[in-house]
Amino acid sequence: MLDSFFIEIAESWRAHAHDVSFAAGSPMSAARATVIPGLSRRPDVGMVKALGGLRRWSERENLDVIVTNSATASALVRLARTPAPVVYFCHGLHWNETRTIGDRVWPLIERALLSRTAGVISLNSDDRRWFASRFGGRPHLHLSFGVGLDLLDFPVRPVPEGPLRLCWIGELSPRKRPHLPLEIAAQLRDHGIGFRLEMLGDGPLRTDIGAEIRSRGLSGIVTANGPGDAAAAIERSHALVHTAQWEGLPRVMLESLAMGCPSYAFDVKGVRDIPLARFAPDGATTELAARIAADWTAGRLLDPMPFDRSLLDCSHAADGIRRFLPTLVGSESVPPGAETIPHGE
């Protein structure tokens, strides 16, 4: 997560004369990090040993504030009782509509950890409301476009020529629901639409997805050949299809938006916050397929997208967080562009 989201942000902070120290459960590829044994994104019996390592790291680096992300690791950081205040950068609270046992347990854990949280950074409207009603008017920064993007990596693409091309990009896991784009593909075929669907990603369901492609007779229409270049796939596509059960704020949809490629998705937590995305009710594959077919037939997928892509630049998040953190240890105020949550909201 640090390699993916925080390299540019850290460089921006250092350019303003701040010291930045990374810590992670495994070595980073793009920067030097202190490796904390036991620190992990997934619960594990060995994670207790991370508590002492986190305290020692905080003391050795003489930290003024710690920003932590990912649910399990963030719980460990807040339980470690470090001398520095802890800000929870919440990429997405790990539940949707509290229907399952897991969805009921996580809110209890997060609520208990709020007493050890100095500040919160949220990314989607559902999480924003949850924190606003439970964090007692304490420091809370909301970033509508998440950590943002390096826009040089996601230039506006020319609209592809030829038949309809769709892409699906994500982990082949139960929460991402990669079987649903296959349902959509089968329905588009039944609509008589000529198209191709390219699926990029890897995960525990990869073998099952390959088998389902063959069993549905989609082998000549859908490809699922593993990981690949997301920007290149978006560039050659007329639209992105996204089928996750819920998200923090789906980065791939922001990448698609930056490149001027429309997104089709279900109206679920986190996903519903993406500007200009085209939605159907959760799980309504027939409705989503019909909307794709109608938009393609009417030529709407060839129209430019009226969105100011500069809003997605990662500099906005870097500046907002940089000016938010000193409010927890000093007197600097947050400027316009970094939206704090008023007391009582």
Q: Write out pLDDT tens, residues 77-115.
A: 999 999 999 999 999 998 776 566 666 788 898 999 999
Lowest mean pLDDT among 93-102, 139-148, 178-187, 229-238: 93-102
- Strands annotated E in the chain: 22-24, 33-35, 66-69, 86-89, 119-122, 140-142, 164-169, 195-200, 222-224, 239-241, 263-266, 278-280, 339-340
Count of helices and strands (H, E) across the chain:
12, 13
Which residue ranges does the chain devote to CATH 3.40.50.2000?
2-148+313-340, 151-302
Q: In this predicted structure, which of 2-6, 137-141, 205-209, 221-225 has the lowest mean pLDDT?
A: 2-6
- Identity at 281, one-letter amino acid code: P
Q: How confident is the model at residue 344 (pLDDT cuts 50, 70, 90)?
A: very low
Tell me how far apart the 2 most distant CA atoms of the chain are, in Å: 64
Q: 342 is written with which tokens?
A: 């008023």
Percent of all residues in the chain with a pLDDT value above 90, rounded to a whole number = 83
The pLDDT of residue 337: 36
Least confident of 40-54, 163-177, 207-221, 289-303: 40-54
pLDDT reported for residue 98? 55
pLDDT of 137 strictly over 90: no
3-state percent helix, strand, coil for the chain, nearest multiple of 5: 40, 15, 45
Centre a 10 Å sphere on the Cβ of residue 97 and count the other Cβ atoms it contains.
Answer: 12
Q: With 60 as the cut, is the pLDDT of residue 343 above it?
A: no
CA atoms within 13 A on the CB side of 214: 5
Ramachandran area for residue 245 (φ above 0: left; ψ -120 to 50: alpha; else beta): alpha
330-335 mean pLDDT? 46
Where residue 136 falls among pLDDT bands split at 50, 70, 90?
confident
Supply the pLDDT for residue 103: 67
Select from 3.40.50.261, 3.40.50.300, 3.40.50.2000, 3.90.420.10 the CATH code of 151-302: 3.40.50.2000
This prediction has a pTM of 0.90
Compute the mean pLDDT over every residue in the chain, rounded to the nearest whole number. 92
Name the band, by pLDDT with cuts 50, 70 and 90, for residue 345. Answer: very low
Distance CA 120, CA 75 (A): 13
pLDDT exceeds 90 at position 336 = no
- Answer whether CATH 3.40.50.920 is correct for domain 2-148+313-340: no
Instruction: Evaluate if residue 278 carries a pLDDT over 60.
Output: yes
- For 158-191, the pLDDT digits (tens) are 999 999 999 999 999 999 999 999 999 999 999 9
Q: Is 146 a residue whose pLDDT tops 80?
A: yes
Distance of CA 313 to the CA centre of its chain: 15
Please tell me the predicted confidence (pLDDT) of residue 335. 39
Reported confidence tier of residue 41, pLDDT bands at 50, 70, 90: confident
Task: Supply the pLDDT for residue 94.
Answer: 80
Categorize the per-residue pLDDT at 334 as very low, low, confident or very high, splitting at 50, 70 and 90: very low
Amino acid 75: pLDDT: 93
